[in-house]
Structure 1
Amino acid sequence: MTVRVGVIGTGWIGGEHIRRITDRVGGAEVVAVTDIDADRAARAVAGTGARVLATGEEVIAAEDVDAVVVTSWGPAHAESVLAAVAAGKPVFCEKPLATSAEDAQRILDAEARHGARLVQVGFMRRYDTGYRQMKEVVSAGGIGTPLMAHCVHRNPTVPESYHSEMASQDTAVHEIDVLRWLLDDEISSVQVLTPRPTGKRFEHLRDPQMLLFEMVGGARVDLEVFVNCQYGYEIGCEVVGEEGTVRLPEVPGAVVRSAARTSTPVLQDWVQRFAGAFDAEFQSWADEVAAGTPTTGPNAWDGYAAAVVTDAAVRALHSGGVVETGIKERPAFYA
């Protein structure tokens, strides 16, 4: 079976996913798209045979659309996902699932009423080879009970439109999800510290930031978010257990010896770093949709949990104190 996909939103990431589904994912094809810019939508599917529709509602309702990909503006995600669930169609939603915990809760309630899980959220790091190796070690007890984790998320620069809250909402959200997955636990509290600011930032931005998490089980996590580090894109993660540690491997690069120095290249963006994870994520999703089984990737509960934690992190940024996330117990529906 070929999964016929409708895409809502054909901006940069939507265009990337259209090319990914068309060129690198087997068993899926894009048949319909929509965007607020109809010309951009037409360019995104030029040569693919897909048609451009006027609205997301039309894409979801189309008889030849089996599943939906939502890559529109973040605040519009929840309504598109809710419409797909109401239509009974599997939906892949890029992060965030919703821009508030309240909207994410609406999606949980809608899935519960439908009686089956239809939603997958685009937390692609769970499909990265290095993170999967870490997960295998932690889950197998290879380092004993996890006690701590140390994480780094650095970008060379960000545009002027990037604001201080986005350090949690758009950047740290990936670590928030992957830490919950690695440690198989929820985040109970968060504190945000703001060290001496870099002079390389726009004046309105607090950068870097240190996020301190406590897990329900007691493990502690520190995360450095530094989005104007200048030198490149770097992701780091180490989990410390009672009997050992496991660290995310460095991305291999050629070793150059020249001018009395040894050097390796530094990646410059997240597209280079996680291209393989994106491909694996979509292939897995397409395979499971074709099989008619609930997707095993990040689900609506994971999107809800991320929204709860990022909401708390924004409050912590402004208060300077420790903020309880107030996350509830995971429903059995998402076990």
Structure 2
Amino acid sequence: MRNEAKQSMGNENVTSWTEFLLVGLIHHRTPTVFFAIVLFMASIALMGNCLLLFLIQTNSTLHTPMYLFLSQLACMDMGQVLIVVPKMSVNFLTQRNTISLSGCVAQIFLTLTMGSSECFVLASMSYDRYVAICRPLQYSVLMRRKICLALTVGIWSSSVLLIMVIAFYVLFLPYCGSNVIDHFVCEFPALLKLSCADTSAFEKMVYIDNVIILLLPISVIVSSYVAILVQILSRRSTEGRQKALGTCLSHLCVVGIFYGASMLTYSTPVHSYSAERSMIYSVCITVVPPMLNPFIYSLRNRDVLAAARKLFLNCTSQK
């Protein structure tokens, strides 16, 4: 279905699309296989993060700053999956691939808000681990409740404000070319490519946003983990060093996947934007980290495993 609205720009009448076609899955070489893989990973992500949230909320021993940030990360991961996968599933199963401009912008706003918040939360979690391992005597002061709440408010408010600018900009752009988006989700680089307006100034502003949202948090994460690794390697216990080193490296692997895909998607100039590559990057941003995070950040953690064991024993004893 094609729905058009007439807009006036200067002295020219421009036909601007108010509805788009998401045809990424249709044009994929093996759409059914791709859809099944994404749906499987999304199901694991939702179950893993739901279990993690339940354990954190019901076990008082997990009410610490680390698990406060971890519960926020779980909510963001679930948000990423629920914003993207249900719409993709409906489009694939019904073969109705339309999405309104407002729906497209809403999807962009929500996915980017969750993604940018996740960047800041990952930085906060790495700082929390740095304080816990490298400055344990000051942990109760540096990570007290007021500071954690201030960080939480700052994470969400800054993400909403930064992404709101992008969302409003793409909402009022004129789209006078094709209305076909060769993707299974709306992304603002794809909309910029369809616009007939000059977006060069906006692209420069996006680079500034990328510095704030991507480069600053990754700098905090790398600095924190370098300090942690130096501290770990100075310890005498070989077994403790290997375990801590494995945990740090697994954390950095997930962070690398998430940040790498985000940078490749949102730091690429519009003229070299590739929808085919972007679909792979989108999976690496919205599905892969949510699936891996519960295992890497929690199920390898003794406190979480103890809480899960206690929950299992309580359930079996009641039967």
Scaled by the length of structure 2, what TM-score is found? 0.21
Structure in which a larger fraction of residues adopt strand: 1
Scaled by the length of structure 1, what TM-score is found? 0.21
Q: Which has the larger radius of gyration?
A: 2
Structure in which a larger fraction of residues adopt helix: 2
Of structures 1 and 2, the one with the larger relative CO (CA 8 A, separation 6+) is: 2
